[in-house]
Structure 1
Amino acid sequence: REVGQAVRAAVANGVPRSELFVTTKIECCPGTAFMGKMGPLECLTKKDPAADVAHNMRVLGLDYVDLLVLHWPCDDLDASVHAYEAMVQSYRSGGARALGVSNFNASALASFLPRVSVKPVINQCGFSIAGHTEDLWGRDDATKHASEAYNMTYSAYSPLGGWAKGGTSHVLSDPTVNQVASAHNTTAAAVALRWVTQQGVVAVTSSDKASHIKGDLASFELSLTDEEMASLATVQ
């Protein structure tokens, strides 16, 4: 709700809507096979994915969103396709400018894409230093390469490593990361972000501190060597 209010206020104050990018996701509760040892998530979603889309749009109070994403694969392929096709209806009616998926690994994409009428443009997965070898949620190099092969943008949430070790990031205190940061006179966070974006991956991060946001943007000025990229890839 607050996002929608902020967007409307910005537009009312002269910010072109085209300069703002709004993303929303609908849930699709994954089953045990997808979640592995963690077990299934508590399913908060309604049984009707079209109602989920309508609910999000109503809460946002916007005419359209720029990106509508299916948050997880569902319990089975048919359910995933059913949920996604509800999103397609929003896309075709102008409620969403683009569609995407999240946490789809390479095998899930291979099964899913031939079944849908509009191809998703993005696959958003956890991806970071020390968090790029686990295919359960598409947090692996193979899923990155598969997404690119399907001409989909591969986007990284938790690019600083928040999902690498049970939700607590150790990346910023890792000796190798800090050694590279010292060599470039920059921060460990800048190195972690640049390792992701230098591979052509779109990193999604946020902060409530202006200094952190400026540091995130400054990371694009950093150029890591091939040797540094390879060394950072070995961090566990």
Structure 2
Amino acid sequence: MTSIPTIQLNDGHDIPQLGYGVFRVPPADTERTVSEALEVGYRHIDTAAIYGNEEGVGAAIEKSGIPRHEIFLTTKLWNDRHEGDEPRAALGESLEKLRTDFVDLYLIHWPTPARDNYLHAWEKLIELRDATLARSIGVSNFLVPHLEKIVASTGVIPAVDQIELHPAYQRRDIAEWAAAHGVAIEAWGPLGQGKYDLFSLEPVHAASVAHGKTPAQVVLRWHLQKGFVVFPKSVRIERLRKNLAVFDFTLSDAEIAAIDDLDSADGSGRVGSHPDDVN
């Protein structure tokens, strides 16, 4: 079984650097795919309330027989649950569906800046962490101004910011802020979500040929060597295995630099929604 490296979060907890994400995995397929992911060696599962598949994740973990403390489990607070004591109620619902007493990481899914209540949501997540319902807390899709606001107001730095990030859309402003404040970056859409063709680009293709790996494996390896946490999604067990087979080769500094140069400075590489537009 592949040994997946971990990185230490700023609160002292360790997170597996490669996990399995269930975004857009149909609820009817989730228990099977998560069970297969656990079977082949994944120990980090990323879900969210809005995905509608927390029940399948929980069933797979419970039936796996793997001790709960050996699995790193993430879920997220949806945009309509920021106010009042809704974050606590929402997490309670997620815990019930996931069949667990705690999550390893709880994230605010989007800042929804037009509503301007993400600071209140962050204050509630701090309470949930202190109540040991979430071991670590963080955010998702937060831009630098959002991050600065919650830290200035509470003094609590998120453990994680989960953002769209791939070679053509590297969000260096966020990555630099995160590095300066000890925040781990998790990359969603790490392969361009099939909407941005990374695999035919010369630096990726050249590294694929040089190392005898698929272009997807090269891109995942780039993420890992950059220090990002990554969780590609697949519903096929053979692809799950391939996504794990990225620890037996190393990209050279020149290969990393060439892939770095694929970044679209104008933001044209973005394939998902802009955080300021999700409200």
Bin for the TM-score computed over the shorter chain:
0.7 to 0.9
The equivalent residue for 1:169 is 196
Q: Do residues 105 (structure 1) and 143 (structure 2) align?
A: yes
Q: Do residues 153 (structure 1) and 184 (structure 2) align?
A: yes
The letter for the 2-side match of 1:65 is V
Out of 258, 272, 279, which is 1:231 matched to?
Answer: 258
Q: Structure 1: any 5+ residue segments left out of the alignment? A: 29-43, 133-139
CA 96–86 in structure 1, closer or farther in 2 if over 3 Å, else same:
same
Report the secondary structure of 1:85's partner residue. helix
The equivalent residue for 2:124 is 86
Size of the alignment, in residue pairs? 207
- CA deviation map 1:103-151 (0-9, x unaligned): 112232122212225432111111111121xxxxxxx012112111111
The letter for the 2-side match of 1:143 is I
Q: Do residues 202 (structure 1) and 240 (structure 2) align?
A: no
| Offset at residue 2 of structure 1 (A) | 1.3
The letter for the 1-side match of 2:59 is Q
What does 1:179-194 correspond to in 2, within 5 Å?
179-194=206-221
Report the secondary structure of 1:171's partner residue. coil
Report the secondary structure of 2:128's partner residue. helix
| Offset at residue 234 of structure 1 (A) | 2.4
What does 1:1-236 correspond to in 2, within 5 Å?
1-10=55-64, 13=65, 15-28=66-79, 45=81, 47=83, 48-75=86-113, 79-116=117-154, 118-132=156-170, 140-162=171-193, 168-235=195-262
Report the secondary structure of 2:117's partner residue. helix
RMSD: 2.1
- C-alpha contact 1:53 1:87 (8 A) present in aligned 2: no
The letter for the 2-side match of 1:55 is E
TM-score by length of 1: 0.79
Report the secondary structure of 2:139's partner residue. strand
TM-score by length of 2: 0.68
Q: Structure 1 vs Structure 2: percent identity of aligned residues? A: 30
Q: Which has the higher contact order (CA 8 A, sep 6+)?
A: 2
- CA deviation map 1:72-127 (0-9, x unaligned): 11325951111122222221112111101111122321222122254321111111
- Runs of 4 or more, structure 1, over 6 Å off, are none
- C-alpha contact 1:65 1:97 (8 A) present in aligned 2: yes
| Offset at residue 185 of structure 1 (A) | 1.4
| Offset at residue 158 of structure 1 (A) | 1.3
CA 119–144 in structure 1, closer or farther in 2 if over 3 Å, else same:
same
Q: Structure 2: any 5+ residue segments left out of the alignment? A: 1-54, 265-279
